[in-house]
Structure 1
Amino acid sequence: MKYTVFGAVSAALIGAGGAMAQDFPTKEIQGIIQWGAGGSTDVVMRSVTPHAEAVLGGTVVMQNMTGGVGAIGLNHVADQAADGYTLLMGAENPLLYKVMGLGDKDYSDFIAINLLARGTPILVSGQNTPYNDYAELMEFIAENPGEVRFGATGPGGLPSVITAMMNAVEGELDVISVPFDGDGPALTALQGGAIDVMPAVLGAAIEGIRAGTMKPLAVFDVESNERLPDVPTVASFNDAYDDLLPWGPFFGIFVKNGTPDDVVGALQAAYSEAAQNADFVEMIDNRGFTMMNIAGDEAADFMNRWQQNTTWLLHDAGVTQNSPEDFGIERP
């Protein structure tokens, strides 16, 4: 008898949940962007979401919630109900939290609605700096220790990974690290002369490069980028980078584990269609991003490989607090 009652209650709950999912959304959806306004994550999310809203027939209210290398935003979403009404709009950084000692949650606590795009790192400097490429920067740092101001976004942010690569290849760089809440604010500071150099995502820096307000020193890749074909790759200056590249960030939308399947499906369908919108495709291409538009097992496999490669790269560079092995992350 107890089992019969339990089954009846469960069926009622499932039926109610199904009805709720079928009507989704019935209220505003909150989109929590991990990084600051004007950065690459912000640009991608604010470009694609209006097209997803049109498919959903609802409203997504986006909010920049910065701090803790994105952990503030992630933890906020993790504390909300698993109902699809709070989206985490983030980048790759949570996959490094455990090895960097920044938290005990990562994307294994979430469902990927869509991995929208990936980016290419680039090293840029202020327009009035006395170096014009990577080799000249390395020479200047050697001759002027403790003088060059590098923008940073905290441990596990893209600048920290790129700086770790540079330290691994060139030896420990004697530079000043200046923290910001994302590459958007940092690039604004760079153009204003508050810092000298910034490792950033090409998609966030390319408009400043085109406008002549910052100088590209090197693309962090093994092949030139078609959007900036005249900018040399860092591997062309030092072939030791061949063992570390290609590497890059990615940008995705997530919901908390436990979100009803039908709600997940509705969100995945909406963002998949939105990512195919001509305006979004043009933005991605024009800014030098690479379209992904993947979800499900494909997204999970991509993130697993990315986490393996990056956590071990950082561990071997001596910048992680914990070994990836401690969390079951196998060496690639």
Structure 2
Amino acid sequence: MKLVSKLVLLVTCVGLAQLAALQAAAQSYPTKPIRVIAPSGAGGPVDITCRAVSQALSEVMGQQIVVENRVGAAGLIGTELVAKAPPDGYTLLFGFSGPLAIVPNLNPNTPYDVQRDLVPITQVAAQPYVLLVHPSVPAKSVKELVALAKSRPGTMNFSSGGTGVGIHMAGELFNIAAGVKIVHVPYKGAAPAMTALMAGEVDMMFNTIAPVLPHIRSGKLRALAVGGDKRAALFPDLPTFKESGYDFKTGGWYGVLAPKGVPQSVVTALQNGLIKALASPELKKLFEKLAIEIVVTSPQEFADLIRTESALWAKVIKTAGLQVK
């Protein structure tokens, strides 16, 4: 009995010592480079936004921030890495709808629980998706595209950066809203998915404005509609989906999260740092050019967004009959 008591005491002391060490380190945070996991491929909307925010945050925090792309399974691989990382604030997640609100509803074997394993810091940005078609597609409006798809059931297709990412689900939402069946073709990242569209391997795709700007302007791609509440300043002549006769919105959102158990002082330091970073005139100017909206929220507001989006995509997944293959 005495041996058991001593073991319990020892374990308790070790636990308290570890907690004290973590709290002490948090007081002077950050004292070394911070790693930010972007669970998406280089050159895509997640990567572009992540690197811009990380650079601004690095300048505010006075510490190097290293962005690391971990591609795979619609963001699941990178998100799992962060969920299982030490909760010291030196490994963060640049999260988006795919691994936070879609994959957990799509894949019953998701190796993490967003509510249990991650702590939201703040949402940082949002941007609408644009519906794009290859120039060879004989449709210059959403209504013409829908009519074409209905005349060719099951033969048209759309690309995305992988099953379960936001731009994939935007296509499924479009199928439901328009009453069509355009077949999904997944690629390993948004960048190769767009390359496939420009090569004419697929008919259409949803993507954010930033990576497609030069291709729309050069005529390599044709934009039919934007998924936001209002027209994009960069394309004032491009109608919204609502103006095109389809009452739904679709776009990407991004935010920073940490592993569960991170000290509150670190959460506060990161949130304050991000608020200052997002107020940077240079970042604002860049995001205006890329049609990215800066969004600053409290940790609770970001957590509420994730829950709301999760409920939305659960319904879409069920309606579309999607499953992990």
Alignment of 1:102-117 (within 5 A): 103-108=110-115, 109-117=117-125
CA contact (8 A) 1:95 1:106 kept: no
Paired with 2:294 and 2:91, the residues of 1 have a C-alpha distance of 24
Q: Which residue of 2 aligns with 1:330?
A: none
Q: Which residue of 2 aligns with 1:44?
A: 49
Q: Which residue of 1 aligns with 2:261?
A: 258
The Cα offsets for residues 44-92 of structure 1, whole Å up to 9 and x where unpaired, read as: 1111111211222211111111110110111111222111111111211
Secondary structure of the equivalent of 1:258? coil
Paired with 1:152 and 1:8, the residues of 2 have a C-alpha distance of 51
CA contact (8 A) 2:168 2:184 kept: no
Paired with 1:98 and 1:61, the residues of 2 have a C-alpha distance of 27
**Residue 318 of structure 2 corresponds to residue 319 of structure 1:** no
Secondary structure of the equivalent of 2:262? coil
CA RMSD of aligned residues (A): 2.8
Q: Which residue of 1 aligns with 2:207?
A: 200
Q: Kindly tell me: are residues 268 and 207 of structure 1, through their superposed partners in 2, closer, same or farther at Cα, counting changes over 3 Å?
A: farther
Q: Which residue of 2 aligns with 1:101?
A: 107
Secondary structure of the equivalent of 1:119? strand
**Residue 21 of structure 2 corresponds to residue 16 of structure 1:** yes
TM-score, structure 2 normalization: 0.86
Q: Kindly tell me: are residues 63 and 224 of structure 1, through their superposed partners in 2, closer, same or farther at Cα, counting changes over 3 Å?
A: same
**Paired AA for residue 78 in structure 1:** A
Q: Which residue of 2 aligns with 1:268?
A: 271
Which of 73, 97, 118 aligns to 2:126? It is 118
Q: Which residue of 2 aligns with 1:219?
A: 226
**Paired AA for residue 32 in structure 1:** I
Alignment of 1:234-249 (within 5 A): 234-238=241-245, 241-242=246-247, 245-249=248-252
Which of 294, 297, 310 aligns to 1:291? It is 294
Give unpaired runs (5+ residues) of structure 1.
323-332
Paired with 2:147 and 2:296, the residues of 1 have a C-alpha distance of 41
Cα deviation, residue 257, structure 1: 0.4
CA contact (8 A) 1:116 1:291 kept: yes
The Cα offsets for residues 240-262 of structure 1, whole Å up to 9 and x where unpaired, read as: x32xx234321111110011222
Cα deviation, residue 147, structure 1: 4.2
Which of 188, 191, 195 aligns to 1:184? It is 191
CA contact (8 A) 2:126 2:294 kept: yes
Q: Kindly tell me: are residues 210 and 16 of structure 1, through their superposed partners in 2, closer, same or farther at Cα, counting changes over 3 Å?
A: same
Q: Kindly tell me: are residues 159 and 296 of structure 1, through their superposed partners in 2, closer, same or farther at Cα, counting changes over 3 Å?
A: closer
Paired with 1:4 and 1:289, the residues of 2 have a C-alpha distance of 53
CA contact (8 A) 2:70 2:78 kept: yes
CA contact (8 A) 2:161 2:188 kept: yes
Secondary structure of the equivalent of 2:251? coil
CA contact (8 A) 1:100 1:155 kept: no
The count of residues paired between Structure 1 and Structure 2 equals 316
Q: Which residue of 2 aligns with 1:282?
A: 285
TM-score, structure 1 normalization: 0.84
Q: Kindly tell me: are residues 139 and 318 of structure 1, through their superposed partners in 2, closer, same or farther at Cα, counting changes over 3 Å?
A: closer
Q: Which residue of 2 aligns with 1:327?
A: none
Secondary structure of the equivalent of 1:294? coil
Paired with 1:5 and 1:172, the residues of 2 have a C-alpha distance of 64
CA contact (8 A) 1:36 1:185 kept: no
Paired with 1:299 and 1:133, the residues of 2 have a C-alpha distance of 35
CA contact (8 A) 1:31 1:87 kept: yes
Cα deviation, residue 176, structure 1: 4.1
